[in-house]
Amino acid sequence: MGYTRGMRRQIIGLLFSITFAGLIGCSSDESANAGSGGADGGGASSSGGSGAASSGGSSTGGVSTGGGGGGSGTAGATSNYDCANPDPAWIFCDDFEKMDGGWDAWWSAAGWTDHIGKDDPGRMTSSSAAHAGKWALHMPADASAGYQGADLIYRPCDGANKAGCNMKGYPQLYFRTYLRLAADHQKVHHFLALGGSQLDDYWSAYGNAGCRPNGKRHMGSTVDFTDGDHATFFYTYYPKMNCDTGANCDKYSNSSQVCSECASKDMPCSNGPECCWGNHFKPSADVKLPLDKWVCFEMMMKPNDLGQDNGVMAYWIDGTLAHEETTMHWRDDANLQMNMVRLQHYLTTGDAGGHSNQIWFDDVVVSTERIGCMPGG
């Protein structure tokens, strides 16, 4: 069997997880680039998810096709709060207006915990093409940077805000950003993500690609989109996920090597040799991100109660519910809590195909409750 584009991405993801396994404990640049549902996830899953569909949809082939309806929070919500006047439920806000004082002044004051590519202006820089105010964040994926994407990571540290900290945990998180894809934008490997780890184990959220989660180490969900048409979907790992058998895995990777790596992280291949890549949960009808237009994007994740299949993940585009899943099972340990947000546009040089996939971000908020869009859109 030939190598599909999804298989090639899976191999890239595996190489990233192996490469960075020895860097756990570092806090610089690409060492952060192995997060749950993040940079090391590995493209399209060959098996899809097994969760039940939400209202108005069905689950076929393991890929949920849940429809609209319902939703966590108020549909079409708007917010009159901002970073200068935050809602009490907000735990983080960056409108990038501190870029008035320069790049270094913004970084020192903004409150992000870690990054991938911040120090390379070909990957991340300031822009006056803002959604609101004077400044926005621009990820140019420039040729000078090998067309690579970038990532800003927020972790709610309990103490000094730095990579490796002990963290606070939350029963649920909401994450809103305004985003604008360039008119000629084509693809991304992984996009916006929420997740969590043990409160005293910062690094366990990273380097988990290929492994079936054990319900204790990490959890997370990413909203990705398909190449070309930008149709959105959830990409997530969970203990009962569908995985490639060892025989299928060995057609494009090495299941023994994958299982050895997973066992070293207390996630052994208990079902026999296998490779696990994020399962997809899609809306019943495509919900696409437009190009060359500011979009209000919000997502949420609420872990399941212990012993229950009632975890929730949802996302909204311009205030309208795009997709929701309400029967997820990510964790079996109460100390596994929500404590990670990734404003990422992850793309490798090999994936980019010599094209600069540019994106702008603005007006980022992390909250324990529904945030909504700004008045006027």
**Mean pLDDT within 322-337:** 98
User: Quick one: pLDDT at residue 76?
Assistant: 55
**Mean pLDDT within 247-267:** 97
In 3D, which of 22, 65, 7, 112 has the Cα closest to residue 281?
65
In 3D, which of 188, 179, 156 has the Cα closest to residue 364?
179
In 3D, which of 375, 373, 369 has the Cα closest to residue 73?
369
Residue 15's H or E segment, with its range, is helix 5-21
User: Quick one: pLDDT at residue 14?
Assistant: 40
Structure tokens at 281: 């949960």
pLDDT at 66 exceeding the cut of 60: no
**Mean pLDDT within 228-250:** 97
- Alpha helices by DSSP H, listed for 219-370, are 246-249, 255-263, 349-352
Q: How far apart are alpha carbons 244 and 308 in whole angstroms?
A: 25
Q: How confident is the model at residue 376 (pLDDT cuts 50, 70, 90)?
A: confident
Q: How confident is the model at residue 247 (pLDDT cuts 50, 70, 90)?
A: very high
User: Quick one: pLDDT at residue 78?
Assistant: 73
Q: How far apart are alpha carbons 252 and 325 in whole angstroms?
A: 31
pLDDT in tens, 127-143: 999 999 999 999 999 99
% of the chain exceeding 70 in pLDDT: 80
Identity of the amino acid at 131 = H
Return the SS3 of 97.
helix
Contact present, 209 and 34 (Cβ < 8 Å):
yes
How many C-beta atoms lie closer than 10 Å to residue 86's C-beta? 15
Structure tokens at 84: 């200068």
**Mean pLDDT within 239-254:** 96
Q: How confident is the model at residue 237 (pLDDT cuts 50, 70, 90)?
A: very high
**Mean pLDDT within 191-214:** 96
pLDDT at 373 exceeding the cut of 70: yes
How many C-beta atoms lie closer than 10 Å to residue 273's C-beta? 18
pLDDT in tens, 88-107: 999 999 999 999 999 999 99
Of 29 and 311, the one with more pLDDT: 311
pLDDT in tens, 135-177: 999 999 999 999 999 999 999 999 999 999 999 999 999 999 9
**Mean pLDDT within 314-328:** 98
Burial of 184 (0-12, 13-18, 19+ CB in 10 A): exposed
Question: Where are the strands (E) in the chain, listed by range?
Answer: 59-60, 63-64, 90-94, 114-116, 125-127, 136-139, 150-154, 173-181, 192-198, 218-225, 232-237, 244-245, 274-275, 279-281, 295-302, 311-317, 320-328, 336-345, 359-367
pLDDT at 117 exceeding the cut of 80: yes
The neighbouring-strand residues paired with 300 are 174, 314
User: Quick one: pLDDT at residue 79?
Assistant: 75
Unique residue bearing structure tokens 């895995």: 249
Of 61 and 303, the one with more pLDDT: 303
In 3D, which of 230, 240, 233, 205 has the Cα closest to residue 332?
240
Q: How confident is the model at residue 377 (pLDDT cuts 50, 70, 90)?
A: confident
Global pTM reads: 0.83
pLDDT at 361 exceeding the cut of 60: yes
Q: How confident is the model at residue 72 (pLDDT cuts 50, 70, 90)?
A: low
Please name the residues in contact with 28: beta carbons below 8 A apart, sequence gap of 6 or more. Answer: none
In 3D, which of 183, 202, 199, 173 has the Cα closest to residue 72?
173
Please name the residues in contact with 242: beta carbons below 8 A apart, sequence gap of 6 or more. Answer: 45, 47, 48, 49, 50, 62, 279
